[in-house]
A and B are shown apart, each in its own frame.
Chain A
Amino acid sequence: MSRIATPYGLLLPAAFLYGLFIIYPIIRQFDISFYTWHIFPGVHNPFVGWSNYAKIFHDPAVRTAAWNTFLFLAITVPIQMFLGLAAAALLTDRLPGRGLWRALIFLPVVTSWVVVSYVFAYIFAQQGGLANAVLSLFSGHAVHIDWLAQTWTGNAVIWIVSIWKGVGWSFIMFLAALDGVPRDLVESGRVDGASEPRIWRHVVIPNIRPTITFVLVLLVIGASQVFTQVYITTGGGPFGSTSVLLTYAYQQAFSFFNFSYAAAIASLMAVVVLGLSIMQIRLMRRNDDS
């Protein structure tokens, strides 16, 4: 093998898999979004141009799903970041049992979405659920809320599972970042008599800003992809009122066989998410400069 052929040879297996199962599907998804695609072989698939995309903007169910996705993002992302940073700040210094607390806070991250969705579905079950029992205890009369069968409470359960499972990830990211804040800068700030909040604002936060951007971007991307916890807890119900964009697209594709319409929704989302993350980075960069 010649010198130049070697690296390509080494790349080949990974490139083949990646090209076939990731790159090709990305292109394919755009492609079928311009047709009315039938899954059965031999059936004519007419080209319909942008009409699948036009349909998205006139579909009230998409509006609901987009709103729920946005709410999910706007609520879970800031709370996860705040709690993650708070926990990291608590544990960055020496503390009795620091290793144990660290391990426990990160634990939800390694458990599976499917399993924790079932656990929370049971905690918020109407019959025998822990949430209703606790509310009954505090209010003094029997509470029978059917959490998962109502729009707002159903959404709330989805947010709670997601925050609970997500905090550990931000926590570890911020813990690593806080570790890298120069201690001498903090100390000299203190010697000069600066208050703790001032030190946080002028020394700590600027030092961990790259991590803040990184965590924010990854959480936003992750939040826009929310699927499993919705699929398992509420299933998007009642009447689609807790569905998010991907559960709606999934339902369109695999329950109603509208593959092209679902592909259009997924493709549009990919573009929006990409735009969002570029915008976020630009904004954070500009703040850095000023």
Chain B
Amino acid sequence: MSILALKDSRSLTKDRLAREARRTRASAQPGLFGIRSWKKSRLVMACVFGLVSVFPLLYMLSLSFQPTSDILTSSPVLVPTHPTFQNYVQAWSENSFSRFFLNSLAVALGTVVITVLFSSFAAFAFARYRFPMKEIIFYIFLAALAVPSVELIIPQYLLALKLHMTDSLPGLILIYSSENLPFAIFLLRGFFEAVPKDLEESFRLDGAGPLRVLSRLIAPLSAPALAVVAMFTFNFAWEEFVVALTLINSPAHRTLPIGLNFFISEHTTQWGPLFAGSVIATLPSVAVYFISQRWFQRGVSLGGIR
């Protein structure tokens, strides 16, 4: 990612923070259009956008409850006519799917813990200390936003071979954490800088060291930002495909995204269990999203995270 874009995005971040504050006032003002007569057609179009966005996911849900005979018929069934839990039973018991689920959970939680801890330390250093090469180091961290996982998979694979880290869940955790550090440090630095300096001074006067200041003052005050980082990191690790596909060989170490592949063989695809598995794989991220949508959407608009 070019440094120029990031500079833009940093100033954007500040603008947006100011806008957040204005938002409550803005919503009371007349809107961007202010024309009442457009309301009905706007509502219809919003409906269309919403339905198109949700349809494939609802269809997946519906398919996961259909028997194979309905799924393979030439006239597709939209709403299950013979609803069954068979696909879920089969998905969960066959192919050690429950194992994949636990693997994914362990990898995602491990990645969240390491990313949140390490990025808080680093963001704290960038936000509160002056030291030589500070901005240069910061931009080196950000540079990787342009080089997502797929691009570096070859050298990462060779490195993992050398470190005897292939086919291991801790190996995945370390690589996922490294890939999430840049955006986490970028987002947290801004929030940490916003914590008033005099609060920190009074802590310091009581003899608190840097780690105490971070854990007792800065982190609690930046809880929403830490939550955003945790949610995004969890989602990233939960759905990551390429690194897992390349590094993991043995079935016992598969994560969900590559575990789904087990339902597909050369000649036939077991669509029913595949979609039951897909629903199971999708539930955690969708649940987290609906519980904390506001934070999620704000995280995206603040950090430009994808």
CA distance A173 to B301 in the complex (A): 5
Residues of chain A with a CB closer than 8 A to B148's CB: 222, 225
Classify the secondary structure of A's interface with B. Answer: helix
Known contacts A93-B33, A180-B16; is-contact A17 B154 (Cβ 8 Å): no
Q: Which residue of A lies closest to B263 (CB)?
A: A118
Q: Taking the complex as formed, is A70 at the interface, i.e. its CB lies under 8 A from any CB of chain B? A: no
Q: Please, which residues of chain B bring their CB within 8 A of the CB of A39?
A: 158, 161
Q: Give the bracket for the number of chain B residues in contact with chain A.
A: 35 or more
Tally A residues with Cβ within 8 Å of B: 109
B71 at the interface (CB under 8 A from A): yes
Contacts of B159 in A (CB 8 A): 20-21, 24-25, 28
What 1/0 mask marks residues of chain B from 271 to 296 whose CB sits below 8 Å from any chain A CB? 10011001001100110111001001
The interface residues of chain B lying within 8 Å CB-to-CB of A173 are: 300-301, 304
Shortest Cβ distance from B179 into A: residue: A22
Chain A residues positioned under 8 Å from B150 (CB to CB): 225, 227, 246, 250
Which residues of chain B in 127-143 are interfacial with respect to chain A, using CB atoms and an 8 Å cutoff? 129, 131, 134, 137, 140-141
Secondary structure call for the B interface: helix
Interface positions of A from 75 to 117, Cβ below 8 Å from B:
83, 86-87, 89-98, 100-116
Q: What is the minimal beta-carbon distance from B70 to any residue of chain A, in angstroms?
A: 9
**Quick check: B147 and A246 within 8 Å, CB to CB?**
no
A133 to B161, CA, bound (A): 48
**Using Cβ atoms and an 8 Å threshold, which residues of chain B touch A110?**
235, 285-286, 288-289, 296
Q: Which of B32, B147, B154 has the most CB of A within 10 A?
A: B154
Known: A10-B121, A127-B74, A281-B4. A101 touches B50 (CB 8 A): yes
Q: A123 near B59 (CB under 8 angstroms)? A: yes
Is B205 part of the binding interface, using a Cβ–Cβ cutoff of 8 Å? no
How far, in whole Å, are A108 and B31 apart by their CA atoms in the complex? 27
Question: B2 near A225 (CB under 8 angstroms)?
Answer: no
Residues in B with CB closer than 8 Å to A112 are: 238-239, 241, 257, 281-282, 285
A91 neighbours in B (Cβ, 8 Å): 46
Closest 9 CB pairs of A and B: A93-B31, A112-B239, A25-B155, A176-B301, A7-B129, A21-B178, A10-B125, A14-B122, A7-B125
Q: Which residues of B contact A (CB under 8 A)?
A: 1-2, 4-5, 8-9, 11-12, 15-16, 19, 22-23, 26-27, 29-35, 39, 42-43, 45-47, 49-54, 56-57, 59-60, 63, 71-76, 114, 117-119, 121-122, 124-125, 129, 131, 134, 137, 140-141, 144, 146-148, 150-159, 161, 174-175, 177-179, 181-182, 185, 210, 235, 238-239, 241-242, 246, 257, 260, 271, 274-275, 278, 281-282, 285-286, 288-290, 293, 296-297, 300-301, 304, 306
